[in-house]
Amino acid sequence: MASVRHSRLSGERLPRTPAIIFGAVGLFLVPWAIWLALRLPRRHIAEHYDIAWAGFDIGLAFLVAGTAIALWKRSPTLPIIGSVAGTLLFADAWFDILTSDGSSEVGWAIGGAVVAELPLGILCFYVAWRALIELERRY
């Protein structure tokens, strides 16, 4: 049976309206981010800071474990799970560094990012990319 490769996704199944919405939101987010950078205070005390970080790390743990399971089982969900896990690992490094208080905390955050979060995130993106290539070969 011959394999059929398409250079584009099927137009019948994917409407273009969401592309317009995503493009508009993407354009809107640039001035919004600039406005936030100019208007937000440099310092802010937040209620439930501990719960927010713990919840984020629990979600990250599930995604990293899910990436391991998807890779072990050679699941077709690996490109999605691995990409999301990699993205959250990068976000974790970013926020760990930027929300650190004091030079020793910043040092630990940078060390954690360099030694763990960023390399693991890169590995997640790599296995997701390789799995996507393998899926494309199959179909």
How does pLDDT run across 4-27, given as a tens digit for each residue? 454 555 556 778 898 999 999 999
Question: 86 in a domain, yes or no?
Answer: yes
The verdict on residue 36 lying in a domain is: no
Length of the chain: 139
Decide if 94 is inside a domain.
Answer: yes
**pLDDT tens-digit readout, 25-80:** 999 999 999 999 999 998 889 999 999 999 999 999 999 999 999 999 999 999 99
Residues 6 or more apart whose CB falls under 8 angstroms from that of 121 comprise 85, 86, 87, 89, 90, 93
Residue 136 makes CB contacts below 8 A (sequence gap 6+) with: 5
Q: Could you give the number of structural domains in the chain?
A: 1
In a domain, 28, yes or no: no
Nearest to 81 by CA among 96, 91, 67, 68: 67
How far, CA to CA in Å, does 102 sit from each of 98, 99, 107, 114?
11, 10, 9, 18
Q: Structure pTM? A: 0.84
Asked whether residue 89 is assigned to any structural domain, the reply reads yes
Name the maximum alpha-carbon separation found in the chain.
Answer: 63
Domain span at residue 116 reads 45-138
Q: What are the structure tokens assigned to 116, written together? A: 């763990």
In a domain, 20, yes or no: no
Residue 67 lies in a domain: yes
Sign, CA torsion 48/52/55/61: negative
The CA distance from 111 to 114, in Å, is 5
Q: Is residue 54 part of a domain?
A: yes
